[in-house]
Structure 1
Amino acid sequence: MMKLYLSILFLFYLMNAKGVNSEPPDILRLHIQSDIRMRFATTQITSLVANNNNYSQEVTFNVNLPEEAFISSFKMVIDDVEYPGEVKEKEQAKKAYEKAKRKGQSAGHVAKKPRDTNKFKININVAALRNVTFEVRYQELLRRKLGLYEHSIYVNPGQPVEDVKIQVYIEESKEIRILRVPPLRSTDPTFTDATPESTTNPDATISRPSIKTAEITYVPSDTGTLDGIFEIKYDIDRRKQFNGDILAVNGYFVHFFAPADLEPIPKDILFILDTSGSMSGRKIAQVIQAMIFIMHDLVEGDRFNIMDFDDQIIFWKPTLQPWNPENVKDSLKWVRQRRASGGTNINHALLDGLDLMSTISNITSEDRSPVIVFLTDGAASSGVTRSTDILRNVAEANEKTIPVFSLSFGADADFTLLQKISLQNYAVARRIYEASDSAIQLKNFYNEISAALMTDVKFKYFGNVDNDTLTNNEFHRYFNGTEAVIAGKLTDKDASRITWNIIGSTSSGGIDIGETTEALQLSDEGKRESLLSDEDIKSIPEKLWAYLTIKQILDQMTASDNQTEKDELKNRAIELSLKYKFVTPVTSMIVVKPDKKENTDEDAAEEASRDRHPPARPAPVYKRVNRPPPRGGSYGDPHFLVKLKNVTYPICYKMPAKPGELMTLIYDPVLQINVTGKIREGTGSYKPDRPNRTYIGKVYIKTANIEIMIATHQIVFNGKRLIWKNESDIAFNGASCEVNGKGTFVEVKINPGLTFLIRRNLHARMGPKYGYLDFFLMTDDGFSPEVSGVVGRFIPMKGHLMKEHKTSKNKTEAKLKLTEPRKHYKRSVHTVLQLKPGLKNTLIPCWKIDIDKLGF
């Protein structure tokens, strides 16, 4: 299964030279589009983010991409003006970004993060009170694995985002015979999902414009808790045994080759397992569990052996053993007896392993597939420890060209050395992350290399192909469920037929097959909306050629120990990366807004306010002092007070909530009114052993005609931004939003009978760093009987106090009967009279109840 893995983690690190507490930016929109043409995927992330402070700030978010992906474009849109990125050599890009940031300009910089090759960091210095749209596009060849291509998008914005959408378009060379869109998968790799493979994501819409195309749209029904991996798995018709699809456009071609119905070649496999002291505990237990899985997957005709190494070398048997139930049982008994101790002698282990695999007695015929799987969790600490010596010794010992697949277990393994070992010995290295699912990771890797269908595969091209430009056309092993991909230039730009030849070995013997294949053309047929332009589509073969060529150069750089050669390869990689605008390990991307005018932070805030938010009409708000008491609302941390019919004092209660949670305050489906509060964590608690108190940080009000977002730093009414300290009044379709200009109150009128009041609190002893909001329902005429929510649920209710009395501690207690005739609701609860802060910050009496006793 090929994974195109995109993880969007908006991790905001805010830097403010003035030392003022800044409000984290809001993500207003998150759209992801993917366009997959002949396995070449282009994915675009578009995110609208608002800086709600009156000074510029730097925002950093990480985009976790697959290791195989290259960012191909990045741009910012500021005040409706686009600022495209420019790919530069890495150090040049970094200098340009730092220069722009010092001048206070909006600037973005995309660079590969050190020590984590699958993460890209995007730094944005956002001007005061501005919305900025980020658009990042990356491209990758989907490598076929275990018979499927898999497109996976990990989405966790870190906050509720109202507008989230994922769209994926697939166009393939042949009929798409398998297409699966499973439910969102947990981001926890240790979580075992029992959902059947055939289950379809309920929030995904799938359409098939033709047998070769597919369109998938995903709109999550619950954006408030969006945290998971959206997946698409597919494969195409492969009924022809020696399958060769060739795409040729504009002087470049790409050849996809995936033979079908071949029998696996019997394998000779040696497992070299590190059992040094650092492998003690969970690690060695997981390796043992993985070997149990793997041993049961070997098949008749296979031969195997196992080596245990630390300072010393121990083989299970002196030679390779044929697979049979008795040998499997005996080998697993031996594996379970392994104990972790000693140092890590990598050199000794590999040389002895290659010696075993290379002996005449073990290589009995050419129609077998020898493989070494080498696992370690550390660096060489015993015997020969210099990397150059180990690499030279292994190369000299591997005369039989046996693939050595290396598994780097945990963070302490010398992954650089393991990469070199595998790249120099016809294989690849893979990281195994130290977690509770490590055994499954090991097993999955084994599955990928467990069945070789062909060995010593070589492709040749004739006629109009420039063979000097070919990407890798020789493959030591072709494994089941994978695909060979070769690209190159054509001497005839308009060539429509490609003549090619393949030689290699299969389980049935050698093959030498030649064909002339009609080249395929990509189209836009059946596509309603295209992420790619016509020019983008026509350039796919050329982009694929550049992509594969750069990948090979980077692998050669990793494998090489010759500095002169590494420098030459680096310069070639930089040249191609710059030409094709790829962000690779040797390049970065910079985008800077031109310096039209030097503004101070205060000037920027004033200009933003003047240009973006002209008031609809001046209105002195809240000059009146005597405001009637609210019908209900939230106060402080938050506790709630709601006035019941027939009861003198309001009821009061608390509703537990976690930071980041969205709490429905009022919801009326008939009137289409939804009022939601976003919970924010405070900075303290009454008792050291208790979690910090929580508060309402934002209030969202939505009706059929208006959308209002009120936060401690800004107010947005139908997309128009208002400022807390600017007196203003905006009206639309009978609804209005009034700001008192003192930075304390906002009044929202839905209609003449429904009024909400929001109070801002910036200074509280245990309140959040950026303050919090109180919400009050001032008038409630017209709510339907269906109204609900933490506050709204009590609006249609009546109350009746019974058995009111004083306790021995002079407390007033009673039994409160709650009724709601239309819903046949009746409930009696114990209540105690208490004093709580009210609208005017004075203590008012209220009947405290336990909300859990009401059975909502």
Structure 2
Amino acid sequence: MGNDNRWFTSFWSAPGCVFKNIAVMVSIGQGVLLFSVFLVSSLRGLAGQETSDLDIYSFLIKSEVSSHYAITVITSRVANRANESREVDFHVELPKNAFISKFTMTIDGKAYDGVVKKKEEAQQQYSRAVSRGQSAGLVSAVGRKLEEFRTSVTVAALSKVTFTLTYEEMLKRTLGKYKLLIKARPKQLVKHFSIDVRIFEPQGIRFVETQGSLTSNDLASAVNTTQSDREVHVHFSPSLQQQQQCSGCEEKGLSGELLVIYDVNRPKSQGDVQVVNGYFVHYFAPSDLTRIPKNVVFIIDHSGSMRGTKIQQTQEAMMKILGDLHEDDYFSLIKFNSGVTTWMPALVPVNSHNVEAARKFVEGLKARGMTNINKAVLKGVQMLSSFLESEAQGGSASIIILLTDGDPTIGVTDLDQIQVNVKQAIRNRYSLYCLGFGFDVDYNFLERMALENGGLARRIYEDSDAALQLQGFYEEVASPLLLDVRMNYVGVSNVTQTNFSQYYAGSEIVVAGQITDNDLETLTAEVRAKSRDNEVTYREVFPETDSDASRSLDHYIFKSYIQRLWAYLTVQQLLEREVLLSGEQKKASRDRALALSLSYSFVTPLTSMVVTKPEGEDTQVAHKPEEGKKSPGGHFGHPSSQLRMRGGHFGHPSSQLRMYGHQLHSIHHNHAPSAGKMARLMDAGVPVFVTRESLSNTPPPATVTRLMPKSNLLKVLMPAQGQNIPLCFQIEAPQNFAKKLTLKVLSDPISGVSINAEMLKGEDFLRVAVHYKDECHIEANSTGIKVTQEGKERFISWTAYATTESCNGMTLALQREVLEVAAGNMRVDILRHKKSQDSFLWPAIRQQAPIANATGIMGQAPVSYILKETTPVAKLEILGKEVLGTRDSVVDYSTHTKPTVYCWLVPFSSVVLESLQSLIVSQL
């Protein structure tokens, strides 16, 4: 799990890509922005061409921040110095909370602009393009902090193209700081390379500092920072010599980051208000307050799906969090799986004795059983209620923090009913924060439940720093300063959110709106809230921003920046709160968000950008993806489509082999598309079989044998050591194969486990059997599971609420239609999937002993390969032999999300050292 995101980000530069990547990667804003220009050879120049023919001769980033609202413009100029046309692919990964507002390609002096349209209209245009055989879908993928924008264009010989992308975002204050992160990673020397950051804050800048490897000794002279009372200018412009000679730089390109950290002065407790051209924004972040004590209940999921890295990282985070509790806090812990267990019957004060006892409780967490969210949360509410009734705890903040990685599978499992139960129990008295670990959880459900109860939801990404993510979230809510914050204004309308359940130290409340009273010369802002000891009121009258200040603001962004900030914040909040609405209210909210998105040209989940291109080029549509959903155009790289498993990440020793299904689509064109367009089709999630005919009108030589994917055969995926794209192969069934074929999936003499599976029509598994030392036998089919132990049989339904049980040393656990079987160092999951009205099974090895002596389809040792050539077909060196392969796609049935992933399809015999005949068994 720890490397899932790294696997994804490195995919684009993997040896298997047809792209020649001379990328520039940068990171701007609170999320990381990876800006890459991928250069793709054209039809005539796929093999043997030097990337120097395509030169990024100018790369400029200008980020202007005023009052925490950032406008970032990325300009890349690329020259095709070859005597023939080349295709240039423009690829940007920008912060998830940003809205793209403008995109332009300039070719031979003519500008081609992207146009923002209603998503349905853009989708229709996309569908029409697809029906004509065009590659129409821009890859739009949402990740941990990023989402992608990409397009491409053919550049004529000895011509140039300029790409300009603008996006807007409001920086969020966290733990007393605003952060602007710029990560630069060009993979070539860039003659004109600069990153220019200008920050203007009318309140005055309290401090600023720069960090990161780009400020190291080798590059220190390339970073120039100047500061005045209200302005900061950071300019990074390394010379060609510095780009080439700096220590740690990759080849001839930079590799590092520049982090600008700052905060503003806050002389007034009531905050700062700016009024310009009929719009206002109010920044409220008082600091002269006493911290409010917390009453906090931690509710921790330790069901079977938390096994492995998840539970370890949760324990690590909780150890640190328990050490950070304040002495005036009260706390307790609840663990839950099928049942609910409390550490203490009531909340206890924070002291060394209680903290040490709590740590031992956390150390003892073991992952097993099912998931009873309803009972666990209601128990936490009951504990808080009993505590507050028995203790005089006036002026304290009561919060519940729920951590879970899955949907409820026992007890009350209806999500709507759980939501109702929790809301009725809390009754607006406490705040509920829901942390969803990974992507098997229904994040929308957690978000609705949190928002309804004065909290928020946060996804914890399965990565090596998951423990730090948990700790970071707790730090944000560790120090409440105000409760029940209500903000009021006179003579305004269309105001963004004005009621907040808490205000925490180091954060900031931002409210924006329109001035409706044309005669209004001053704006009155009133804030009422509860502090530790009493109720407080902040009241201030603010004059409209004077003309000198307005002109100063215009110098940095533009005259309507407060208006755009208001629109940005309004759309963000409408989209966030939409999960709580239904019926006409939901429609009205969406309509308003859509109208604003179109009016301000924001690419939001309700709109798309249609990228117009020169005549004859394909239409493309850029979508802003939503968390947990695929882009309409299809994509690869969505978190739910990354290679994931409960016991580890793809390529981890605990996941030596995976078996996948397949989903192939034939793409027919009247005219052969270029290699770049074929690559975009594949990278957009459309499986495309690339033959020599696909890339050229010249027939292939007789010596080249193409490996044609077959639509009704089982496909197996193997992790390749040291490569980002794995290998896969198909099982060629014997000629006398009728409908069913029983195969040896794995035989592991070390653990004593053997697995056989019966294939149905070469596509799916109808039955799977697990045998353990002739002492325990399990046979699963689509309706149930038969366990045979010492001659006695027992049956388990897939819908049964089963807990962990033993079978002569082998343990079984059934949860969410996943049967987990474990014996010694061996662990295998058997998943049941739905297919139309039927079901089929899928075995997935999660962990096993050293596999030198293992046999079977999933018993093959992982192999490494050398990718020698990708066109006209892939040539790979495997185990010392040259093998022809094809880039292909498969569906990962080892997880219920069933993502589509890529692989190099190679012959069966090139990676399986046993003959297929030896893998066919007579009985299950």
Q: Same fold (TM over 0.5)?
A: yes
Alpha carbons of structure 1 residues 103 and 411: separation in structure 2 relative to 1, 3 Å? closer
Q: Which moved more, 1:12-21 or 1:62-71?
A: 12-21
Shift of 1:28: 3.4
Q: 1:131 to 1:234 in 2, by over 3 A?
A: same
CA-CA distance at 1:338 after TM superposition: 1.1
> Aligned residue for 1:653?
none
How many residues align structurally?
A: 595
Residue 368 (structure 1) aligned with residue 362 (structure 2)? no
In structure 2, the CA distance between the partners of 1:123 and 1:355, relative to structure 1 (3 Å rule), is same
Matches within 5 A, 1:229-268: 229-240=257-268, 242-268=269-295
Which of residues 300, 323, 328 is equivalent to 1:273?
Answer: 300
The CA deviation at 1:505 is 0.5
Equivalent residue letter for 1:381: T
Contact 1:346–1:380 under 8 Å retained in 2: yes
Matches within 5 A, 1:691-706: none
Quote the Cα distance in structure 1 between the aligned partners of 2:617 and 2:222: 47
Q: Tell me how far 1:362 sits from its aligned partner.
A: 5.9
Q: 1:48 is matched with which residue?
A: 77
* Equivalence for 2:561: 540
Deviates more, 1:496-505 or 1:19-28: 19-28
Q: How large is the Cα RMSD of the aligned pairs?
A: 3.9
CA distance in 2, matches of 1:8, 1:523: 37
3-state secondary structure, aligned to 2:610: strand
The Cα shift of 1:288 comes to: 1.1
Structure 1 residue aligned with 2:310, among 262, 265, 283? Answer: 283
After superposition, the Cα gap between the structure-2 partners of 1:334 and 1:132, relative to the gap in structure 1 and judged at 3 Å, is same
Alpha-carbon distance, 1:10 to partner:
2.5
Q: How does 1:9-408 map to 2 (within 5 A)?
A: 9-10=35-36, 12=38, 26-50=55-79, 60-96=89-125, 112-113=140-141, 118-129=146-157, 130-157=159-186, 159-184=188-213, 203-208=222-227, 210-220=228-238, 221-222=242-243, 224-240=252-268, 242-359=269-386, 360-361=388-389, 364-408=392-436
SS of the counterpart of 2:335?
Answer: strand
Structure 2 segments unaligned to the other structure (5+ residues): 1-27, 245-251, 619-669, 675-721, 724-865, 883-924
- TM-superposed CA distance for 1:153, in Å, is 2.4
Q: Structure 1 residue 513: deviation in Å?
A: 2.8
Q: Residues 362 and 685 from structure 1, CA distance in 2 versus in 1: closer, same or farther, beyond 3 angstroms?
A: farther
* Equivalent position to 2:499, from 451, 462, 474: 474
Relative to structure 1, is the Cα distance of residues 470 and 86 closer, same or farther in structure 2, using a 3 angstrom cutoff? same
Once the 2 structures are TM-superposed, how far is the Cα of residue 551 of structure 1 from its aligned partner? 0.9
State the alpha-carbon separation in 2 of the partners of residues 74 and 690 from structure 1: 48
After TM superposition, give the deviation of residue 687 of structure 1 in Å. Answer: 8.0
CA distance in 2, matches of 1:690, 1:26: 36
One-letter identity of the residue aligned with 2:258: F
Q: In the alignment, which of 563, 568, 591 is matched to residue 611 of structure 2?
A: 591
The amino acid across from 2:606 in the alignment is V
Matched, 1:559 2:586: no
Q: What whole-Å deviation, never above 9, does each CA across 1:562-583 have from its counterpart, x for those lacking one?
A: 2544333222211110001111
CA drift of 1:349 comes to 1.4
Structure 1 unaligned residues grouped into runs of 5+: 187-194, 605-657, 660-679, 693-856
- The 1:601/1:156 distance shift into structure 2, 3 A limit, reads farther
Contact 1:33/1:168 (<8 A) preserved:
yes
Relative to structure 1, the CA distance from residue 385 to residue 64 in structure 2 (aligned partners, 3 Å threshold; closer, same or farther) is farther
Q: Which letter maps to 2:149? A: K
Contact 1:150 1:231 in 2 (8 A): yes
Alignment match of 1:483 (pick from 508, 522, 539): 508
Q: Which amino acid aligns with 2:34?
A: I
Matched residues in 1 for 2:602 and 2:373: separation? 37
1:690-709 alpha-carbon deviations (Å, 9 max, x no partner): 899xxxxxxxxxxxxxxxxx
Match of 1:428 in 2: 456
**CA distance in 2 between partners of 1:686 and 1:601 (Å):** 28
Alpha-carbon shift at residue 438 of structure 1 (Å): 1.5
Q: CA deviation at 1:108?
A: 9.6
The letter for the 2-side match of 1:497 is: T
Task: Give the letter for the 2:580 counterpart.
Answer: A
2:31 corresponds to: 5
CA distance in 1, matches of 2:881, 2:294: 58
Partner SS state of residue 502, structure 1: strand
1:86 Cα deviation from its structure 2 partner: 1.5
Q: 2 CA distance for matches of 1:98 and 1:10?
A: 27
- Give a deviation string over 1:266-325, Cα, whole Å, max 9, x none: 000111111111111222111111111111111111000111111111111111111111
Taking the aligned partners of 1:377 and 1:475, their CA distance within structure 2 comes to 27
Residues 535 and 288 of structure 1: CA distance in aligned 2, closer, same or farther (over 3 Å)? closer
Q: 1:18 to 1:352 in 2, by over 3 A?
A: farther
Distance in 2 between the 1:487 and 1:370 partners?
29
How far 1:497 sits from its partner (Å)?
2.3
Deviations along 1:317-348, one digit per CA (max 9) or x if unpaired, are 11111111111111111111111111111122
Percent of matched pairs sharing the same residue: 34
Distance in 2 (alpha carbons) for counterparts of 1:597 and 1:291: 54
Higher relative CO (CA 8 A, sep ≥ 6), structure 1 or 2?
2
Per-residue deviation at 1:166?
A: 0.6
Secondary structure of 2:389's aligned partner: coil
Q: 2:593 matched to 1:573?
A: yes
Q: Distance in 2 between matches of 1:308 and 1:51?
A: 61
Are 1:515 and 2:544 matched, yes or no? no
CA distance, structure 2, for counterparts of residue 276 and residue 182 of structure 1: 41
Matched residue SS, 1:471? coil
Instruction: Pick closer, same or farther for the CA change 1:569–1:111 going to 2, 3 Å.
Output: farther
Match for 2:343: what amino acid?
W
Cα displacement (A) at 1:79: 0.8
Provide closer, same or farther for how the CA distance between residues 537 and 325 of structure 1 changes in structure 2, counting only shifts above 3 A. same
Measured in 2, the distance between the counterparts of 1:32 and 1:341 equals 50
Q: Secondary structure at the match of 1:205?
A: strand
- 81-90 vs 311-320, which deviates more? 81-90
Q: CA deviation at 1:557?
A: 1.7
- The structure number with the bigger radius of gyration is 1
Secondary structure at the residue paired with 1:537? coil
